[in-house]
Amino acid sequence: SGGDKSAGSSGAGGGSGAQQEPSSSQAQDDEDEILDDETRIMSTTELRQRIHLLDNDIRVMRSDVQRIQHESRGQRERIREVFFASTG
């Protein structure tokens, strides 16, 4: 996954981008081309490993979202309790 970061940063840090900011769709197209080139040369085993890592990342991120939503609900409830306790 370290290769992903370098590929993404090299696409975003192009020389022409310093003079004129590319549109987000153009930047996405450039990044897609880099990823296409990268995946085109990967073996089936490497692709399966990449998919597995991405699936794990997605699972972790979903878990983080659920945890943050739960914490947020708890904090909102505590704020309501404090607010109504101080006004009542």
Tens digits of pLDDT across the chain (88 residues)? 444 443 333 343 444 444 555 688 888 888 888 888 888 999 999 999 999 999 999 999 999 999 999 999 999 999 999 988 888 6
Q: What is the pLDDT of residue 4?
A: 42
Taking each continuous run of H as one helix and of E as one strand, the counts in the chain are 4, 0
Residue with tokens 């090299």: 10
Is the CB of residue 35 less than 8 Å from the CB of residue 58? no
Q: How far is CA 30 from CA 10, 23, 59, 84, 87, in A?
A: 10, 11, 27, 53, 56
Residue 27's CB is within 10 A of a number of other CB atoms, namely 15
Q: What is the pLDDT of residue 20?
A: 59
Q: What is the pLDDT of residue 3?
A: 44
Q: What is the pLDDT of residue 33?
A: 85
Question: Is the Cα torsion angle 37, 4, 43, 59 positive or negative in sign?
Answer: negative
